């Protein structure tokens, strides 16, 4: 039996993690879940929203499935997600986006992957107050992190049969920081002559993504652009309810959906567990549970294709539990 850390956050996290654990159990894959809670409630009891035990558990098990954690806006504790990525050095955030048959969107032929640098940029959290009317935020871009993420993007392209890597920046304005990022992607590109290398400014990318998303393949970019662009690309395939992600480091991998804790639908049995389920499928492949992963994937795709039992974000009226039971029934 494999040990996997399950990081439980707040908002819709309990509902979607219950659903996914139930589906994995029903598939016959045996996982020993090391459940670790994180977030505001944990901070009240333990004094830290991300206690050491969570990090230690991921380091021990090497693999984690993570549900969203609410981050206070404009005040309060530093994002648990940002800290986790930093403390475990999960330097690559991978967000694949592919049309799923049965989910209606105005966009066809979408099959791209956002590779987001995950440890620096303005997410380094270095901000200072100059005076009441002036705040500073420091954007950090280093050669080490840029070379590492560029190499990851090209390796990913090679291993996954991808043809093109696009480097995304705003190097016309951020000449030093994004300029260094591009210098690094160009350097790495030279080692991969079999992969086509292209560059695009992030604003032009956003426009072209909604005009002709099918032309894009692997997109590598600094942290902030990656955060924003990957929500946009999630929208191209039907929204946050089906957008999966993975945070990869040298020692461990944490699989987590793109979406947040959705406090507006918390506890209403309305949440779509699909994004977390897609993360779980990738996580199972990562730990070599290919048969179980395929079984769950087929059941999921067939429920979506039939289009009868869908959650409301996908235009249906099914509850989280009804949708979960439908996927389980397809595996029998
Ligand atoms: P959000 O992604 O939680 O919600 C945006 C909208 O999408 C809401 O209307 C929500 O109901 C809907 N939605 C999201 N996931 C859904 C799902 N699985 N099924 C159905 N509908 C879904 O973004 P928001 O509201 O900006 O953030 C809420 C909190 O989550 C914030 O504190 C934010 O910092 C945090 N957050 C945490 C992340 C993480 O833990 N990895 C990632 C993104 C945000």
Tens-place pLDDT, residues 267-312 = 999 999 999 999 999 999 999 999 999 999 999 999 999 999 999 9
Of 261, 321, 322, the residue with max ligand 1 atoms within 8 A of its CB, to mutate for a pocket test, comes to 261
pLDDT of residue 1: 86
Whole-angstrom distance, CA of residue 294 vs CA of residue 288? 11
Residue 57: band (very low, low, confident or very high) from pLDDT cuts 50, 70, 90: very high
Residue 250: band (very low, low, confident or very high) from pLDDT cuts 50, 70, 90: very high
| Residue 321 CB partners (closer than 8 Å, separation 6+) | 19, 269
Ligand 1 centroid, distance to 115 Cα (angstroms): 20
For 138-187, the pLDDT digits (tens) are 999 999 999 999 999 999 999 999 999 999 999 999 999 999 999 999 99
Strand order from edge to edge, sheet including 31-37? 31-37, 2-8, 63-66, 253-255, 246-248, 92-98, 111-117, 218-221, 164-169, 196-201
Query: pTM for the full model?
Result: 0.91
- Rounded to an integer, the average pLDDT of 246-258 is 95
Q: Is residue 73 scored above 80 in pLDDT?
A: no
| Residue 150 CB partners (closer than 8 Å, separation 6+) | 167, 184, 185, 187, 188, 189, 220
Whole-angstrom distance, CA of residue 62 vs CA of residue 244? 19
Q: What is the CA radius of gyration of the chain?
A: 20
Helix (H, G, I), strand (E, B) or coil at 127: strand
Confirm or reject: Cβ of 238 under 6 Å from ligand 1.
no
Ligand 1 centroid, distance to 261 Cα (angstroms): 4
Of 10, 12, 13, 68, the residue with max ligand 1 atoms within 8 A of its CB, to mutate for a pocket test, comes to 68
pLDDT of residue 178: 98
Of 232, 239, 260, the residue with max ligand 1 atoms within 8 A of its CB, to mutate for a pocket test, comes to 260
Q: Which atom of ligand 1 is nearest the CA belonging to 259?
A: 2
Confirm or reject: Cβ of 81 under 6 Å from ligand 1.
yes
Whole-angstrom distance, CA of residue 57 vs CA of residue 51? 10
Confirm or reject: Cβ of 36 under 6 Å from ligand 1.
no
Confirm or reject: Cβ of 69 under 6 Å from ligand 1.
yes
β-strand pairing of 63-66 with 2-8: parallel
| CB burial readout 177-212, b (16+ within 10 A) else e | bbbbbbebbeebbeebeebebeebbbeebbeebeee
Confirm or reject: Cβ of 74 under 6 Å from ligand 1.
no
For 95-149, the pLDDT digits (tens) are 999 999 999 899 999 999 999 999 999 998 899 999 999 999 999 999 999 999 9
β-strand pairing of 246-248 with 92-98: antiparallel
Of 240, 254, 266, the residue with max ligand 1 atoms within 8 A of its CB, to mutate for a pocket test, comes to 240
Confirm or reject: Cβ of 262 under 6 Å from ligand 1.
yes
pLDDT of residue 256: 96
Helix (H, G, I), strand (E, B) or coil at 328: helix
Confirm or reject: Cβ of 314 under 6 Å from ligand 1.
no
Q: Is residue 72 scored above 90 in pLDDT?
A: no
pLDDT of residue 76: 76
pLDDT of residue 77: 76
């Amino acid at each position: 039996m494999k040990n996997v850390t399950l990081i439980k956050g707040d908002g819709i996290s309990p509902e979607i993690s219950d659903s996914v654990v139930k589906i994995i159990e029903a598939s016959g894959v045996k996982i020993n879940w090391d459940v670790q809670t994180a977030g505001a409630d944990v901070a009240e009891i333990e004094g830290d929203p991300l206690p050491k035990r969570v990090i230690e558990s991921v380091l021990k098990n090497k693999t984690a499935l993570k549900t969203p954690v609410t981050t206070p806006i404009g005040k309060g504790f530093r994002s648990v997600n940002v800290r986790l990525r930093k403390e475990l050095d999960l330097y690559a955030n991978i967000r694949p986006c592919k049309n799923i048959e049965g989910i209606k969107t105005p966009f066809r032929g979408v099959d791209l992957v956002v590779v987001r640098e995950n440890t620096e940029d303005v997410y380094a959290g270095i901000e200072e107050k100059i005076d009441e009317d002036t705040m500073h935020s420091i954007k950090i871009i280093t050669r080490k992190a840029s070379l590492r993420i560029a190499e990851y993007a090209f390796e990913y392209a090679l291993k996954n049969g991808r043809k093109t890597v696009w480097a995304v920046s705003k190097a016309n304005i951020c000449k030093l920081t994004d300029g260094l990022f591009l210098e690094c992607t160009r350097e790495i590109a030279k080692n991969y002559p079999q992969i086509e290398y292209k560059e695009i400014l992030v604003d032009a990318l956003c426009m072209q993504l909604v005009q002709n998303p099918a032309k894009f393949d692997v997109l590598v970019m600094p942290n902030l652009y990656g955060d924003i662009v990957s929500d946009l690309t999630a929208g191209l395939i039907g929204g946050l309810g089906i957008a999966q992600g993975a945070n990869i480091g040298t020692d461990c991998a944490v699989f987590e959906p793109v979406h947040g804790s959705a406090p507006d639908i918390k506890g209403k049995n309305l949440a779509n567990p699909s994004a977390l389920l897609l993360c779980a499928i990738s996580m199972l492949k990562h730990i070599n549970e290919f048969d179980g992963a395929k079984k769950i994937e087929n059941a999921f795709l067939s429920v979506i294709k039939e289009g009868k039992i869908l959650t409301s974000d996908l235009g249906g009226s099914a509850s989280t539990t009804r949708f979960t039971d439908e996927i389980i029934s397809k595996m029998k």
